[in-house]
Amino acid sequence: MLKNEDRNIWKIHLDKDDFVKAQEAAKGDIEKMEEISTRQADYYFEKKEYGINHSFSIFIVNQTCYRKHNFFLSRYEKSAVYYALTKSSFEEIALKFSKIEDSVALKTFLMKVILPNSEFDSLA
């Protein structure tokens, strides 16, 4: 019988861009969650559609639930939230956002890094 046969299931979900299932399968492993958050940030930054319009949305990051009612979050803003949760270079990510035409995303990234536990979390 194989032991730990599900140990790489998180990676399979990640390769399919199924971030919620990848997070669940990672079971809170810090290194895996870092890779998932980084990939998720890259995914939204490079995504073709401009934004995501929801009347209600929930997503999970590092086993913390974030929700917001009636909002429009640009793909760059969503990317900024995830980059702020990673160990990615602050300067590199700030420069990345300063090169695009979405100053709100740069502000989102800066606020999430500077005030990670503030009320600003509900904007994610």
What is the per-residue pLDDT across 33-56, written as a single tens digit (0 to 9) for each? 999 999 999 999 998 555 454 433
Distance CA 79, CA 27 (A): 22
State pLDDT tens for residues 8-26.
899 999 999 999 999 999 9
Q: Is 41 exposed, middle or buried (0-12, 13-18, 19+ CB in 10 A)?
A: buried
Reduce the DSSP state of residue 49 to 3 states and report it: coil
pTM attached to this predicted model: 0.72
